[in-house]
Structure 1
């Protein structure tokens, strides 16, 4: 409260100091050498400048806490000024005549008195300056033998110190009283505002000419006028504001004018008025007045300002129809737009269309970089979609990374394909977000109405089926709805239903494919491969039901069953043969995954070092930290972890640095590529082998089908081989027999039967 007022007296204090300095210089110009006077004046100027800077920095001290450093700087600046003036007494005064010393004291005492009046807000500063300069004066008078002036100085110091304290206390009390009055005014104003808000209605009355005759003060205040300015003015002119001259009234004012003209009562009529060029919403109620003879004499009524309520309602309505992140229409508004497009198409025998858009690889961005980057990406996608569509289309967000476009008129041949391809091309361009370059394509499914559906629900469902087909084909494509897609969806639904009961019906079984030492050709492990022999659908390819299980999270209970059965079977093999079990990312993010492994090992009696968990790099895209933690828990049990399909997906050396994999499995595509003498595949295999050797990891080559391929893999340095050349996936009974002896290379499968789809049986001895 006190220190900020220093700024107000800065200029006045500076002028007083400079005037005093000028008088002192004139007084001693013949006594002190000019260089000494200049040096003194410069020193005083620096001290004054420092004090002014400190005072200016305290201008906002009433709005914050003042630090000890700031308090200390201000005290130092005052002491510096006082010390400069002590020089005049202890140097100038002692070198000049005694009479000049009295004049100098008069100058300084005037400066002290003036400072006490100007800077009454900071008594400590005045007292410090008074004491420093007073003591210097007392000492100089004592040294020159002017003891009467010593007494005068002492009395002056006492009076000024006491006066400063009293004046400062009076100032402080006044400011406290002022603050209390302001606080009371605020409380009274708050109570008045609360009363007015609870009693929000205004009274108004007009005559037959629609001129104001009586209004309440609050009505005039709401118009920004006084009662004198309002009385006698046309009612509609007051409400229309500056639009009165142009006649461009809001429709609500026309409605009010018509009701007044027809002398109708009205209640809660919402009217848009103009007050000082700002638009407000008023709610008016009125009833016609009649005299004792039944003659119409005007209107009287009440009104209130409902602008805030109106804006809140509009905001709620906006939020109900628009997506908050992207600002695009949401599912509700898209449904309405599609319904209008269908009615238009049926009325004019035209066509409309609905495009459902899903971003490719968005989940990988969201999981790896976080939801903040994901939200920024969605906002950028929405901006690009706005740029793509024309007035004939309406784009919106369905939720997540799904968007949609309603085409009002899609009668032109190829129009839907044109819009879809434009969307895919535009969304597939790179994005620069937070110093990251991101690539996410888009898949589009479309349905045309009324050909592909006569209702909103039909078109949305059918476009969703087409989108699912586009995603199933790898993404980045546009697929139009076809009736056959219903059959595929129905088949998927039936497969899902059967898969939910596959374990209890005993339809799942495990096959085991041997993994052999590349040089000794003896079996070192088996990989457990899941097969489904459905009673309703026959043999179902793993490529078909495994993705279905992952999408529906049925992979979690199925994976637990596979792990348990694999361990139970592995205890029947020799102790040096291990079992490898593939684990999905959906299983790893389960909190109890490690407990599931422990239960399987305990139930089967299999030692942990004989169990190898195989994972792919894609598990780290879902939740890298959670996946790594789960694998570390498995390793702590004594199990080993293999990295399967390395190099085919989201390869990152960071995973190899953070986790000690026991084995890196080279995908069959590289093995087949190397067998066909593709230099890229050969280089990749050599690089993987060299890297694994340096990290003390083993390597397994998958998909080896011929003796030439096996020899090539040995020469490239892979330590283990898996493939049809050494054995197909086989039932548990055959695996028990085979693991007791070395495989017979004379009983291999015929070339050209690669892959492990279908029901495969071991053909060795």
Structure 2
């Protein structure tokens, strides 16, 4: 029981393992108990015992506890592999070391203190002894070693000091503790042995019932030495869909093979079963495909060879069950885990695996593969305006076109939303990827017909080539995504390949976003104002407010960089409200006939009650509504045309005017021009520059816009006029107003005020 002797009979190593298995879980508690007792001991003798002695004892005890904890943890799993004699004595030695260190204060500290201190020290040790007997009853040797060493030492010190009665009490306490520990150990060990016995019996019973309970075996089968069916049971015949008399003498494998028996093209599971029969091996839970008259089924078979008393093989006997429903359910779950349910294309999981295989193939054969990420352009506007049902049907047609483009070992799939991907397993060069991406964009840009709707979407493609652009799946996908972002940023309907500089661009964009989020509170934004002049008189009629960002972290940041970022992160909404207010605040100090134009993003216009923000800015600054002109681009009518039209009508109701900026560069539609009372149509500078170079298309577009605007009672503003010749040209073409560097660059608010002051005194306005 204690462990000091090793009986010859029985596996006492396993018994010791059961005893000591629990000690590892008590290590922390044991260390904490001793540490608390040690701290109290230090407190008792802090002013009575030399500090050096106290420190040395405390250090020694901590080392002993650390060694003991390490030994306890090394016993993990000993209930399975047993406890060796070496492990037993090593553990006893660690307990002995701790006991010696607790005996030291009784010998060295007690003489320096009072009788009360002596009794307090023994009380602490007695508490440790009692705790050991209670908590670590599974190994009574611990209490015996600790109790004998510390108890005898305590009795000796009390006897030396003349306290004989206390010494006898100490010895009695030690004896009672050891007796209790041994009895508790017997009870614990008996309980553990009983548990192990029950577990072993349960395992045997489980082995016997596994074929019938766990595997739900519901019929028996038996074969002769030639693997022919004999003694076919009624349940077995029912499972095959044939009469029992028809099954007698038929080859079991032929029954399972069905029509494929003649061709010899057997399922892999049937080959595996035949191999088991050939080697006369036992098999369990083997799932085989059975082509039966009632259709394809899946059977789970378990069988064992039959041997007679003379050791001769007499056939096979086993059990089986029909697991077709479970198999089909598992296959369906497996399919759903690897395929997109809407399009039937491989999903992100399978695409990731496919890309991993392509990279492995490239590394093995020193070839290259490519990963292309595809994002649909303008899909969200279709989804929002026509509904998700139309959007889903459109995605299904997109997936069909992608399948038609696949060739050889290429594969495509859906990553999610309107994002798809293509894995090119073996490619020759980048030109091949470029050609494929262009074919893909051209194919996906063809019109779609969904529920009598004729729909148009484009595609943007980003590609990365492995292993050069990334040796791992994650790296290659990330780099292709960076390339796709660049393609989207350039307007879409384009293919961009990954280049290392995209990482720097992405990091710059991330840093810009962080700074942009604090730009308003840091007051880093400024407004510049560019004059707009009358085409004939060349006097200033209005100013366009232009946002500029002087970042403390990045210096002067181009609007071409931070405006798209602000729109993407929706920071454009608070920034746009600030611009609106500041522009009105500056304009209220200008001459009464001078207007100010403020650009409004589509993100702002789609905010509920945007017109309320306009009204608040006018009220707060006192600017008359007729002096504020809101400039919008055609793109606002793509996402939510109804919402955009309502917001613009509310702004018109306030008395403000609306200008259509960059006309002709987006998705122009005469419908919203007819339905909304735009005050001005601004002709993009690209047409002005083209007309200056006698480009017939640009000249025709400007003439058409001017004619349309005049017929609708609207003004036209030519943007980007940089010299007198261009000014004369757009004047001859009939433009009402002119804006460009020829008449003034964007200027600070103070410079705009000084310009107006000079013009006022020269009576040019």
State TM-score, norm by structure 2.
Answer: 0.64
Instruction: Please say if 1:240 is aligned against 2:257.
Output: yes
Residue correspondence of structure 1 range 250-289 to structure 2 within 5 A: 250-260=267-277, 264-276=281-293, 278-286=295-303
Per the alignment, do residues 745 and 247 of structure 1 end up closer, same or farther by CA in structure 2, a change over 3 Å counting? farther
2:485 to 461, 468, 473: 468
In 2, Cα distance between equivalents of 1:337 and 1:223: 39
Per the TM alignment, residue 657 of structure 1 is displaced from its structure 2 partner at its CA by 2.3
Per the alignment, do residues 445 and 606 of structure 1 end up closer, same or farther by CA in structure 2, a change over 3 Å counting? same
Per the TM alignment, residue 458 of structure 1 is displaced from its structure 2 partner at its CA by 1.4
SS in structure 2 at match of 1:409: strand
Per the alignment, do residues 713 and 235 of structure 1 end up closer, same or farther by CA in structure 2, a change over 3 Å counting? closer
Per the alignment, do residues 283 and 630 of structure 1 end up closer, same or farther by CA in structure 2, a change over 3 Å counting? farther
In 2, Cα distance between equivalents of 1:421 and 1:689: 37
In 1, Cα distance between equivalents of 2:326 and 2:678: 63
SS in structure 1 at match of 2:370: strand
1:8-61 per-position Cα deviation (integer Å, ceiling 9, x unaligned): xxxxxxxxxxxxxxxxxxxxxxxxxxxxxxxxxxxxxxxxxxxxxxxxxxxxxx
Q: Report what 2:371 is aligned to.
A: 354
SS in structure 1 at match of 2:404: helix
1:564 to 571, 581, 590: 581
Per the alignment, do residues 727 and 284 of structure 1 end up closer, same or farther by CA in structure 2, a change over 3 Å counting? same
Instruction: Please say if 1:610 is aligned against 2:619.
Output: no
Per the TM alignment, residue 702 of structure 1 is displaced from its structure 2 partner at its CA by 2.5
Per the TM alignment, residue 336 of structure 1 is displaced from its structure 2 partner at its CA by 1.0
Q: Report what 2:114 is aligned to.
A: none
In 1, Cα distance between equivalents of 2:737 and 2:370: 55
Instruction: Please say if 1:220 is aligned against 2:227.
Output: no
Q: Report what 1:205 is aligned to.
A: 221
Per the TM alignment, residue 669 of structure 1 is displaced from its structure 2 partner at its CA by 3.0
In 2, Cα distance between equivalents of 1:709 and 1:349: 58
Residue correspondence of structure 1 range 154-553 to structure 2 within 5 A: 201-209=217-225, 210-213=227-230, 217-231=234-248, 233-260=250-277, 264-276=281-293, 278-286=295-303, 300-360=317-377, 362=379, 374-411=391-428, 414-427=431-444, 440-519=457-536, 521-553=538-570
1:512-534 per-position Cα deviation (integer Å, ceiling 9, x unaligned): 12234445555443221100111
Per the TM alignment, residue 603 of structure 1 is displaced from its structure 2 partner at its CA by 3.2
**Greater displacement, 429-438 / 206-215:** 429-438
Please tell me whether the aligned partners of residues 482 and 502 of structure 2 are also in contact (alpha carbons under 8 angstroms): yes
**Greater displacement, 231-240 / 585-594:** 231-240
Per the alignment, do residues 604 and 484 of structure 1 end up closer, same or farther by CA in structure 2, a change over 3 Å counting? same
Please tell me whether the aligned partners of residues 240 and 294 of structure 2 are also in contact (alpha carbons under 8 angstroms): no
Q: Report what 1:658 is aligned to.
A: 675
How many residues are matched? 551
**Greater displacement, 430-439 / 354-363:** 430-439
Per the alignment, do residues 389 and 237 of structure 1 end up closer, same or farther by CA in structure 2, a change over 3 Å counting? closer
In 2, Cα distance between equivalents of 1:484 and 1:432: 40
In 2, Cα distance between equivalents of 1:712 and 1:414: 44
Per the alignment, do residues 680 and 214 of structure 1 end up closer, same or farther by CA in structure 2, a change over 3 Å counting? same
Instruction: Please say if 1:590 is aligned against 2:641.
Output: no
Please tell me whether the aligned partners of residues 224 and 315 of structure 2 are also in contact (alpha carbons under 8 angstroms): yes
- Mark the runs of 5 or more structure 2 residues left unpaired by the alignment: 1-213
SS in structure 2 at match of 1:506: coil
Per the alignment, do residues 600 and 710 of structure 1 end up closer, same or farther by CA in structure 2, a change over 3 Å counting? same
In 2, Cα distance between equivalents of 1:479 and 1:202: 61
Q: Report what 1:697 is aligned to.
A: 714
Q: Report what 1:177 is aligned to.
A: none
1:72-128 per-position Cα deviation (integer Å, ceiling 9, x unaligned): xxxxxxxxxxxxxxxxxxxxxxxxxxxxxxxxxxxxxxxxxxxxxxxxxxxxxxxxx
Please tell me whether the aligned partners of residues 659 and 680 of structure 2 are also in contact (alpha carbons under 8 angstroms): yes
In 2, Cα distance between equivalents of 1:325 and 1:644: 40
In 1, Cα distance between equivalents of 2:406 and 2:589: 65
SS in structure 2 at match of 1:408: strand
Per the alignment, do residues 730 and 417 of structure 1 end up closer, same or farther by CA in structure 2, a change over 3 Å counting? closer
Per the TM alignment, residue 484 of structure 1 is displaced from its structure 2 partner at its CA by 2.4
Residue correspondence of structure 1 range 640-719 to structure 2 within 5 A: 640-719=657-736
1:196-237 per-position Cα deviation (integer Å, ceiling 9, x unaligned): xx9975221315445545555444233222344345544444
Please tell me whether the aligned partners of residues 215 and 285 of structure 2 are also in contact (alpha carbons under 8 angstroms): no
Per the alignment, do residues 654 and 229 of structure 1 end up closer, same or farther by CA in structure 2, a change over 3 Å counting? same
Please tell me whether the aligned partners of residues 205 and 298 of structure 1 are also in contact (alpha carbons under 8 angstroms): no
Per the alignment, do residues 714 and 251 of structure 1 end up closer, same or farther by CA in structure 2, a change over 3 Å counting? closer
In 1, Cα distance between equivalents of 2:715 and 2:430: 58
SS in structure 2 at match of 1:609: helix
1:558-602 per-position Cα deviation (integer Å, ceiling 9, x unaligned): 212212222232333344333221111122222242333333334
| Aligned residues: CA RMSD | 3.6
In 1, Cα distance between equivalents of 2:360 and 2:388: 39
State TM-score, norm by structure 1.
Answer: 0.64
**Greater displacement, 534-543 / 459-468:** 459-468
Q: Report what 1:183 is aligned to.
A: none
In 2, Cα distance between equivalents of 1:401 and 1:433: 16
SS in structure 2 at match of 1:510: strand
